[in-house]
Structure 1
């Protein structure tokens, strides 16, 4: 399911002394099945952009076409669109409310009018995909588990709706390194298992380098870079000029090269750095 954004502009508090152009004439096309990372400093327009894709915000001008449907048209049934485009907000565990994990995850599918059997199948599959054993966790309260597990429950609740597009706004915010790695691993699995289009909002260059096929860089309401991780991270000067950076291992590779190593300049992940160092040592 493709997403086509055409000349999108959004202005907060228009006509007031606090008027701010959050999005400024953005045009982007996201193809079905892509894993796209959206990066940028705070206030760059990332969250505003993804809320338009889900229909939560209306643009001041421009269009958003999801699966051939213009969702900015006043006659469009947005509830139908939101079944196709799932949005996981930052700190989604604050939205948990049911007495058991199973009931919380089943809430969305139940509102779709599915049979009990279909709901149960979706809940089991979603829990399995986020790494929560059904029999072990289904009757537990979502308020009596760890922060990382709560995050998984919240993501499972959206996954159980089986959207074609999954948007995640800083899904690892506030988690410890282990919890972050577990959540990111499950998101990668979701992309493979469901062939979902994934849009991941993140501040972590290391995370997006490992996961994304494509990176969009936002600054002051505009998309200033759009390309593969290799293409985007090769623009270190541009990234640094807007308060971002390339992954830490890329800086490490540059420092090692100054010491006489001959490492590739396309090193963005720890695994790539490891492979490069082993290649150089074995060659020597």
Structure 2
């Protein structure tokens, strides 16, 4: 499912002393099946942007076109749009409310008017893809789980509706390193399993480097960078100017290159850096 945003502007409380332009003439395209990371400092416009894509906010001006349909049009049923564009808010575990995990995940599909058999199949599939064994967890209370497991249940509840676009707002926030890696791995599997277009909002450059095929950088309501990760992470000066940074391992690579180590500059993850350094040392040993 593709998304095209044209000249999108949003002003909160226009005409009041508290008027604030949260989005300023944003233009961008997200292609079908892309894994897009949306990054930016607090207040840059990230949350406002994703709420427009889901139809939760109405633009002051501009258009959002989803699969050739302008969702800002007067006759568009936003309830239908929200079935196609799933939004997982930050700390989604606070939105869990059913007595069992199975019932919580089934809530969305039930509202789609599906048969009991189809609902059951979707719940099982969604639980499996987020790494929760159906037979073990279906009757458990979601409130008895760890933070990372609750996060998975919340994501499964949206995934079970099988949207064409999945938006995740800081899905790893507050989790320990193991929990962060597990959630990111599950999100990657979601894209492969459902062929979803995924938009990941994050402050973590390390997370972005692991999963994204495209990176959008927001600052003061504008999209200032829009490119593949390797090209965005080369813009160190621009990123630091807007209060961001490249992945920590990238700074290590830059220092190694300054000291005449023959190592690729296109390294943004620890795993890739590890392999590159091992290959470099082996080459030096063979010489």
The TM-score with structure 1 as length reference comes to 0.99
In structure 1, what is the Cα distance between the partners aligned to 2:45 and 2:69? 23
The yes-or-no answer on 1:182 pairing with 2:182 is yes
For residue 275 of structure 1, report the CA deviation from its aligned partner.
1.7
Corresponding residue for residue 249 of structure 1 = 249
More divergent stretch after superposition (215-224 vs 272-281): 272-281
Corresponding residue for residue 91 of structure 1 = 91
Corresponding residue for residue 113 of structure 1 = 113
Secondary structure of 1:97's counterpart equals coil
Corresponding residue for residue 202 of structure 1 = 202
Segments of structure 2 that go 5 or more residues without pairing to the other structure are: none
In structure 1, what is the Cα distance between the partners aligned to 2:246 and 2:86? 29
In structure 2, what is the Cα distance between the partners aligned to 1:259 and 1:2? 44
Corresponding residue for residue 263 of structure 1 = 263
Secondary structure of 2:260's counterpart equals coil
Secondary structure of 1:28's counterpart equals strand
For residue 179 of structure 1, report the CA deviation from its aligned partner.
0.7
In structure 2, what is the Cα distance between the partners aligned to 1:273 and 1:169? 28
Secondary structure of 2:5's counterpart equals strand
Please tell me the root mean square deviation across aligned C-alpha atoms, in Å.
0.7
In structure 1, what is the Cα distance between the partners aligned to 2:43 and 2:227? 21
In structure 2, what is the Cα distance between the partners aligned to 1:28 and 1:260? 39
Corresponding residue for residue 221 of structure 2 = 221
In structure 1, what is the Cα distance between the partners aligned to 2:8 and 2:257? 43
Alignment map for 1:65-80 (pairs within 5 Å): 65-80=65-80
For residue 17 of structure 1, report the CA deviation from its aligned partner.
1.0
For residue 13 of structure 1, report the CA deviation from its aligned partner.
1.2
The yes-or-no answer on 1:41 pairing with 2:41 is yes
Secondary structure of 1:6's counterpart equals strand
More divergent stretch after superposition (213-222 vs 10-19): 10-19
1:92-120 per-position Cα deviation (integer Å, ceiling 9, x unaligned): 01100000000000000000000000000
1:223-263 per-position Cα deviation (integer Å, ceiling 9, x unaligned): 00010011100100000000001110000111222333221
The TM-score with structure 2 as length reference comes to 0.98
More divergent stretch after superposition (33-42 vs 12-21): 12-21
1:33-53 per-position Cα deviation (integer Å, ceiling 9, x unaligned): 000000000000000000000
The yes-or-no answer on 1:8 pairing with 2:5 is no
In structure 2, what is the Cα distance between the partners aligned to 1:99 and 1:243? 42
In structure 1, what is the Cα distance between the partners aligned to 2:197 and 2:267? 25
For residue 217 of structure 1, report the CA deviation from its aligned partner.
0.2
Corresponding residue for residue 147 of structure 1 = 147
Corresponding residue for residue 30 of structure 1 = 30
Deviating beyond 4 angstroms after TM superposition, the runs of 4 or more aligned structure 1 residues are: none
More divergent stretch after superposition (255-264 vs 101-110): 255-264
